[in-house]
Amino acid sequence: MATCSSDQSVKIWDLNENGEWVCTSSVKTHCGSVWKVSWAHPEFGQIIATCSFDRSAAIWEETINDSGHGVTSTWLKKAPLVDSRTSVTDIKFAPKYQGLQLATCSADGVVRIYEAPDVMNLSQWSLQYEITCKLPCSCISWNPSPSRLHPPLIAVGSDDPNPSSGGKVFIYEFSANTRKWTKVETLVTVTEPVHDIAFAPNLGRSYHCLGIASKDVTIVTLKPVKNDNTQGTLTQFEVRQAGQFDDHGLTVWRVCWNMTGTILASSGDDGSVRLWKANYLDIWKCISTLRGEGIVSLADAANLTEKSQQSDKVSTPQHTARYFKLAPTSHPSHVPWH
**Res 336 pLDDT > 70:** no
Percent over 90 (pLDDT), the chain: 57
Q: What is the mean pLDDT of the chain?
A: 84
Band of the pLDDT at 42, cuts 50, 70, 90? very high
Q: Which fold has domain 2-201+215-245?
A: Methylamine Dehydrogenase; Chain H (2.130.10)
Instruction: Decide if 248 contacts 260 (C-beta within 8 A).
Output: no
Band of the pLDDT at 293, cuts 50, 70, 90? low
Band of the pLDDT at 181, cuts 50, 70, 90? very high
pLDDT at 126: 93
**Res 190 pLDDT > 80:** yes
Instruction: Decide if 211 contacts 219 (C-beta within 8 A).
Output: yes
For 331, half-sphere exposure in the C-beta direction (CA atoms, 13 angstrom radius) is 5
- Spell out the residues 6+ positions from residue 301 whose beta carbon is closer than 8 angstroms to its own: 289, 317
The CA-atom distances, in angstroms, between 60 and each of 28, 54, 80, 112, 186 are 12, 17, 9, 18, 34
Mean pLDDT of 101-128: 93
Nearest CA to 204 among 262, 253, 244?
262
Helix (H) or strand (E) holding 308: helix 298-310
Nearest CA to 302 among 313, 317, 312?
317
pLDDT at 296: 53
Angstrom distance (rounded) from CA 252 to CA 201: 21
pLDDT at 257: 95
Note the pTM of the prediction, 2 decimals: 0.81
Residue-wise pLDDT for 48-92, tens only, equals 999 999 999 999 999 888 766 667 788 899 999 999 999 999 999
Domains in the chain: boundaries: 2-201+215-245
Residue-wise pLDDT for 228-284, tens only, equals 444 567 888 889 999 999 999 889 999 999 999 999 999 999 889 999 999 988 899
**Res 324 pLDDT > 70:** no
pLDDT at 294: 56
Nearest CA to 135 among 113, 175, 163, 102?
163
